[in-house]
Amino acid sequence: MADVRRLARRRAPRVVFDYVDGAAEGELSTARAAEAFAGVEFRPHVLRDVSRVDTGTEILGRRVAMPVVLGPTGFTRMMHPAGERAVARAAARAGVPYALSTMGTTSARDVAAAAPGGWNWFQLYVVRDRGRVREWLRQAREAGMDVLVVTVDVPVAGGRLRDVRNGMTMPPSLRWGGLAQAMTRPAWWFGFLTGEPLRFATVEGAPDDLAGITNLMFDPAVTLRDLEWIRAEWGGRLLVKGVQRVDDAEELVAAGVDGLVVSNHGGRQLDRSPTPLELLPEVAAAVGDRTEVFLDGGVRSGADVAAAVALGARACLVGRAYLYGLMAGGEAGVDRVLAMLRGELVRTLALLGASGVDGLDADVVRLR
Ligand code: FNR
């Protein structure tokens, strides 16, 4: 994955790479997520028959090829012109779900048409205009998306200092230094200039900087009552993404959600927020018998996926991992990242003495 990330850095302009790679404030949460995964020690069983290893599992009652979900990410066509369509196709081929973001640059209908065999989800940011929310839910439903992921850790935009320094705007308005650097990425420019104009599929008439869009659009007054309204409007399965405390998890389960994502948005929102992998066991112990608990933040390998599942996750969402693949090599890059995650998961399971994902439990890991 480090090599894929390096290749991504070489292919995409710095302003784009930094938008993906960066995080909020001092980027402490992102660094801690990586440290947490590094601190996992496996406790393998030997002399187990692992001649056949199956990475398949069930998420929300449906079979998937491995416990991985391609998480929602905004502006995906900026990373590569193939954008969300490429990601959805790669997910469908790999047999894992993909969640389209509210901040996506491809409509729900176009994503569904690009990957008709895939399991596509929709991620919702609750904006002030509830009519717009209702319209997005309708479009997602019509596109066959049957799981809604409501992200709740963005009452206001995070302070992403790399973006501020780079003048990261929509579309990008680079300063001279950034522009000069971007000139050294002609293939990216060619794709950017010859592709469909980069448009935010969902926001009209918004200011052109990221924090401005976020603060104008996203409703900082959203509470549990709004979630109940969304649940009623949606009528299908609903996950809440951005859970960072056990008591909030309890409250959400009592409110009837179908699943929770223990997540701090990849460290892109509140810096110094709890490290998801460290919080996961507590949340899983408290509500894991009543709901499906997912994790994201810092998942970069199949061994990381195995660690998270062993510590209580039903599956992991990944963000940057597939975006590095997309920047490095378009659709083939996302395919490659998914193949790597799967290959590493197979190898980790075999070396752990587990022939399947159900062999991943608290007994096979220790936090150093
Ligand atoms: C995100 N993330 C995100 N989450 C969300 O709910 N809606 C969104 O629009 C976005 N946009 C977005 C853009 C980019 C460039 C990144 C990297 C991330 C957060 C994402 O879904 C997920 O929580 C994190 O990416 C998980 O951490 P890792 O896997 O990137 O370490």
Go through the domains of the chain in sequence order and give each one's CATH number: 2-367 (3.20.20.70)
- Contact yes or no for 235/256 (Cβ under 8 A): no
- DSSP sequence for 19-84: HHH--STT-HHHHHHHHHHHTEEE----S---SS-B--EEETTEEESSSEEE---TTHHHH-TTHH
* CA-to-CA dists, residue 51 to 32, 54, 180, 310, 349, angstroms: 36, 10, 53, 21, 11
Catalytic-residue membership of 80:
no
Whether residue 207 has pLDDT greater than 60: no
Taking the C-alpha atoms of residue 167 and residue 87, their distance in angstroms, rounded to an integer, is 27
Whether residue 267 has pLDDT greater than 60: yes
Mean pLDDT on 143-171:
90
Mean pLDDT on 73-85:
96
> Which stretch of 157-161, 238-242, 349-353, 360-364 has the lowest confidence by average pLDDT?
157-161
> Which stretch of 145-154, 206-215, 254-263 has the lowest confidence by average pLDDT?
206-215
Taking the C-alpha atoms of residue 117 and residue 188, their distance in angstroms, rounded to an integer, is 29
Q: Is 131 exposed, middle or buried (0-12, 13-18, 19+ CB in 10 A)?
A: exposed
Q: Which of 70, 73, 261 to mutate to test the pocket of ligand 1 (most atoms within 8 A of CB)?
A: 73
How high does pLDDT run on average in the chain?
Answer: 94
**Percent share of the chain, pLDDT over 90:** 84
Tell me the ipTM for this assembly: 0.99
The CA 38 to ligand 1 mean position distance, Å, reads: 21
Whether residue 204 has pLDDT greater than 60: no
359 residue type, one letter: G
Terminal Cα distance for the chain, rounded: 23
Nearest residue (by CA) to ligand 1, atom 11, is 73
Kindly report, residue by residue over 58-67, the tens digit of the pLDDT: 999 999 999 9
Task: Kindly indicate the confidence band of residue 209, based on its pLDDT and cuts at 50, 70 and 90.
Answer: low
Tokens of 4: 């894929």
pLDDT of residue 196: 84
Q: Which of 20, 263, 268 to mutate to test the pocket of ligand 1 (most atoms within 8 A of CB)?
A: 268
Instruction: List ligand 1's pocket residues with C-beta within 6 A.
Output: 19-20, 71-74, 101, 103, 123, 151, 241, 263, 265-266, 268, 296-299, 317-321, 323
pLDDT of residue 55: 98
Mean pLDDT on 315-340:
98
Mean pLDDT on 155-159:
92
Q: Among the options 80, 89, 265, 300, which is catalytic?
A: 265
